[in-house]
A and B are shown apart, each in its own frame.
Chain A
Amino acid sequence: MSRFAPIQTTQPSPTLISDNYQHGGADPTSGYSFISKPGLTKRTVEEIAAHKSEPSWMLKMRLRALEIFESKKIPQWGGDLNTIEFDKIHYYLKPTDTEKKSWDDVPEYIKRTFEKIGTPQAEREMLAGVKNQFDSEVVQGSLKDLWAKQGVVFLSMDEGLKQYPDLVREYFTKVISIGDNKFAALNTAVWSGGSFVYVPKGVKVTMPLQAYFRINADLAGKFERTLIIADEGSSVQYVEGCSSPSYSASSLHSAVVEIFVKKGARVQYTTVQNWYRHVYNLVTKRARVEEDGEMIWTDFNMGSKLTMKYPSFILAGKGAKGETLSMALAGEGQHQDTGSKAVHLAPYTSSTITSKSISKNGGRTTYRGLVSIGPNAHGSKNKVVCDALILDPQSRSDTYPTERVFNNDVSLSHEATVSKIGEEQLFYLMSRGLNEEEASKMIVRGFAEPVIKKLPLEFAVEMNRLIDLEMEGSVG
């Protein structure tokens, strides 16, 4: 092989591997207006509610959720959750008193952090609206006039509850119930921040809405709650990004996202998750799709210590469609337990799940999915494809799909492959003059491409860059 191309034998320097997390900086929390004591009690929940001056039904719901959280056992499947220290976590951290409209009013240190991440620039250039959340509260948010005039609502969840209490009450916890799972109960008890989106009938929001979630404090718990309602015939794309400082102690992120896709509406929800490698990311996401509606989850997981996230859709109306595109990258000490659930309840519904995962340096990726086709869902179709790449002997990859069919007029198929980078492929590229690392990167990019090309261009460029960065030095 050396006749054709130089064989790369150098080991990557250790700094290259450890420094590739670019969002690692932290700011002091001394300027915060409120930080709850570590640990979770009834008092913590009451404190949060008092800070937010919420309606009494919300406090009641929070307290009921707390009881459910305490009574449920920690799930023993998936990743190892027994190491989470619930008593050490701060459940509510309030950096500023109110949400600001303009970046000029945001405290300097918070602004600096977001400038580094690049959200203000993105807001000016390509987004219809943004919400930037720093620990528990949204610190800055805006929505372009064009969309506000058409009746689009894009608020933080707290603000949404204040301005549209009836709408929130009608939909809150209606697709993910309080007791759905232990972490959904935890979120309902201590939720703070997140987005509330309402798109009126027939309005098509052509630019994406973005939310950026940043954990700043050490041992922070982050529990944002997002509710998206897309009324009949409307369409919207929502993008969320996440990052956190490189602390050594573990933080907990447990969000709940509920989406209602009405008749003929379309919602695309994109997540680029890049938490630092000590964050537990335990998220519940579910959409209810009515007649001829369409829900698309694009889910990128590359950070966190353990991610357990299975974006799901309930296809409740005739002809409803669901699609999940999921991409996971697990490095040293990371476990990405991701997948998707498709529940078909109505006739002629269709869903596609595409999952791509890469594990390296001892990382572990898992695809865990469920496809359930009910007795009334005749004429339904489903396809699941999962591909995994394992880059070295220490890494691991699992696939756990479950397919349940209660109806004989359906078509359902599933396929999965697991492999390493093919030697023939490497040889071919190296014979063309690429070195081993470049060749591997190219193969990995090609592997991820079917998922990445579904993203808006700006995000696709960013994703390719992140994958390159993650792949840096992984050959050897």
Chain B
Amino acid sequence: MKKIVDVSNKTGELEIILNKKGMELEIVGRFQTYGSEVKELNIRIVHRAPHTTANTTLKGVAWDTSQLKLSGTIIIEKSAQQTQSFLRENILLLSPEAKAEAIPNLEILANDVKCSHAATISNISEEQVFTFLKSGKSIPSFIHVWISWVVNTAQIKKFTSKFFTSDDCFPN
């Protein structure tokens, strides 16, 4: 049975251990930082038992002069063969002074595994804005749609209530 773990807006150190054979986890987190806030999360996903699966998705949006640091480590111990683990970090920087740090680490001691991670840090590109405006929408509504598209991936939507409102997009 697949379990969902929500780590949205958590900070500090976090360790998630998969120690039962066949355990499946969906780990999701959404993060927003405003003003001069610095938010840092260190998440460790430890596979200790064989046949375990974890799918981790961390998505963040940084505003103003804030800083978002997402560090995730997948650790696959020797005993955890036939394991699959994926880690994904996407961060949007929505002001010129916003800063971000993404550290997706892998430590793999078993060989029969499938493991991958991916990270992106970016702004909304001009082409994307242009395409959207062509269809007659305003910039604020575009930003709102864009953020919810980036942040609300299908699996996150399933279980968390509406996270971003348009007020969130324009805090001041």
Contacts and interface: CB of A to CB of B under 8 A. Distances in A.
B110 A401 contact: no
B168 interface: no
Interface string A382-419: 00000010111101111111111111111111111111
B108 A418 contact: yes
Contacts of A398: 105-108
Q: Which 9 A-B residue pairings sit nearest by Cβ, starting from the closest? A: A408-B93, A399-B106, A417-B116, A390-B111, A414-B119, A415-B118, A418-B115, A408-B123, A412-B121
Interface stretch (B5-13, B36-44, B96-104, B155-163): B96-104
A420 interface: yes
Nearest to B114: A419
Given A399-B106, A405-B99, A405-B100, A417 B115 contact: yes
A406 B121 CA distance: 10
A403 B102 contact: yes
A398 B95 CA distance: 33
B90 to A, nearest CB: 10
How big is the A interface, by class?
A: 20 to 34
Contacts of B116: 415-418
A395 B107 CA distance: 11
Contacts of B53: none
B51 to A, nearest CB: 15
A158 B6 CA distance: 61
Contact count band on B: 35 or more
B94 A393 contact: no
A24 to B, nearest CB: 29
Contacts of A416: 104, 106, 116-118
A328 to B, nearest CB: 15
Contacts of B17: none
A30 to B, nearest CB: 46
A420 B117 CA distance: 16
Given A414-B102, A419-B115, A407 B78 contact: no
Interface of A: 375, 388, 390-393, 395-420
B119 A403 contact: yes
Contacts of A411: 120, 122, 125
B109 interface: yes
B81 interface: yes
Given A410-B121, A412-B122, A391 B111 contact: yes
Contacts of A408: 93-98, 123
Contacts of B99: 404-406
Contacts of B4: none
Given A396-B108, A405-B100, A409-B123, A414 B113 contact: no
A413 B108 contact: no
A237 to B, nearest CB: 32
Contacts of A404: 99-101
B96 A407 contact: yes
Contacts of A413: 118-120, 122
18 contacts: A375-B97, A393-B78, A393-B112, A398-B105, A401-B104, A403-B121, A404-B99, A404-B100, A407-B93, A407-B96, A408-B95, A410-B93, A411-B125, A414-B104, A416-B116, A418-B108, A418-B113, A418-B114
B103 A403 contact: yes
Contacts of B114: 417-419
Nearest to B90: A413
A406 B69 CA distance: 12
Contacts of B111: 390-393, 395, 420
Contacts of A418: 106, 108, 113-116
A395 B112 CA distance: 11
B120 to A, nearest CB: 5
Given A391-B111, A418-B115, A418-B116, 17 more contacts: A393-B110, A396-B109, A399-B104, A399-B117, A403-B100, A403-B119, A404-B99, A405-B99, A405-B121, A408-B94, A408-B95, A410-B121, A412-B121, A415-B117, A416-B106, A419-B115, A420-B113
Interface in B61-115: 78, 81, 91, 93-115
Contacts of A420: 111-113
B77 to A, nearest CB: 11
B100 to A, nearest CB: 5
Contacts of A412: 119-122
Interface centre among A403, A406, A410, A415 (most CB of B within 10 A): A403
Contacts of B94: 408
B112 to A, nearest CB: 6
Contacts of A419: 113-115
B17 to A, nearest CB: 19
Contacts of B78: 393
Nearest to B78: A393
Contacts of A395: 111
Contacts of B115: 417-419
Nearest to A409: B123
